[in-house]
Structure 1
Amino acid sequence: MEGRMRSRLWWLGILSAGMFLIAAIVPPIPQPQAYHQFADARNFFDIPNFCDVTSGVAFLFVGVAGLRFLLDPCGWRAAGVFVEPSERWPYLILFLSVAMACFGSGYYHLMPDNDRLMWDRLPIAIGITALLAATLNERVNPKLGSRLLPVLVAIGAGTVVHWHWSEQRGIGNLNFYVFVQFYSLLAVILLAIFFRSRYTRGADIYVALALYGFAKLAELEDQEIYDLGHVISGHTVKHLLAAAGVYCILHMLGKREPLPEKLERPEPSVARLS
């Protein structure tokens, strides 16, 4: 079993390197300026783009709820959320970034442009890489993800800074940001498929990722959804669905328990997996 795990990790590493290489060699993709033109530009209470601005509050609610849960040691220890206390750190970063997404998103949607978009994307990139670290903890080794967390978060944030820097130089390059966002989620899915979770409710991650997938689809259909009745736009729906996906992760943490066989069987060391 350990040999099979090592082999799968090698293949995942090769795939990661290959995807990064593709991002590095394909022609740079600039940020389309049409992206900043959202369907619902209605102004209420002197707040421009009211629905897109205020719907980000859903991120604040779920982010703060997650932080309250994780910062209450009696709560998560009693629930058996983590076998290793260090496994808590990726989720702390995840929920903190989700809470901060409320402010980054609101700031951007008040006056959409490339400079403000950086602050919208920064917490997204950090949150996604934190989720990848949490998945590595739970499905590969209980300390691996926590050790890689600073590196993964730095990479995620770095891709946003690199994109913004490239736009300022007039050679906008979204390649690495797109790579980190979508490949990190693909890596989470592959880890969930090929490595069993050390906890119950491991399949809940599929629900969370499905909701995020629907959120991205709603974003693409921003105008079409708004045209259905001029009630809500696709981008506003995106915010609500993405927040619901994060809530699924919080619900999973509150309900799950360690698997008995995972407690009895010692985990292979990080060194032996490398």
Structure 2
Amino acid sequence: MVVDHKQYDLFGKTLLEILVLKPPFNVTFPVADNACFHYMLENEMHYKIDEKELGIPVKESVLLNCRTVGNTMSSTNETANNKVVIVHFHPGILKKIYDREMPTLLQKPKNEISNKTSERINNDFLIQKYIEGLLFYFKNPTLVNEDILILKLKEIIILLSQTNHAEAIQMILSQLFSPTIYSFKQIIEANLFTAVSIEELADYCNLSLSSFKREFAKIYNDTPASYIKTKRLEKSTDLLLLSNKGISDIAFECGFNDLSNFTKSFRDKYNTTPSKYRLNQIDK
């Protein structure tokens, strides 16, 4: 139940909102061609996004791409109302205010093969101060004009680009300009040799970890960890024989986080070290 709602529009579209909701409630998001940033001012909010579930506590936030069906936010904690600040990212508005060149956060990332549509953003001091600034303008509506709204939109994009979540945020926001749905196998194959965890791969597929593992086993008849390690080691043997790259460079190129992990995995599979493997093959 909506207790209070205030908003500011820019170029005919909703840009900023404050929502106060009385629990219990379960709100389904309409499908839209924009992304939105939700910051929790009061009470914890529960989100269900595709097959993932997120609890967002006070002073934390979540970024959502609203193109998918069935996303919801809810709360059953009746001790207090939920209060959330929302910033909307419309592709048309972003193109208009960045008429020369889009900032990096809105450009295609190096790894663009992902269906990721959400990212939880932990407590961040600068974002807290940004929200305080927005609250000032909600309390003083006579000070708000088009230039201020454009400035606040650009400011949050700069702040998001400076968080530890910038890479994931870029994946989400860049989809506003070139929306593509990738298959499960496309996402796996594109990320085989990048240093991403199984949890991150599940996130790229918009699946919970358990659902991701079930889907992986169904398609590859193997566990994600086993299949990915095997593929990375197979690639490393090719590089050891066909290139002059150093062992460390090969390890990182094949997606291993460090040399010791690569060496141990290689020895477990081939019963020798990468260096000896290269020498033995050359001597044959």
By the TM > 0.5 criterion, same fold? no
> Larger % of strand: which?
2
Larger Rg: 2
Q: Tell me which interval the TM-score lies in, with the shorter structure as reference length.
A: under 0.3
> Larger % of helix: which?
1
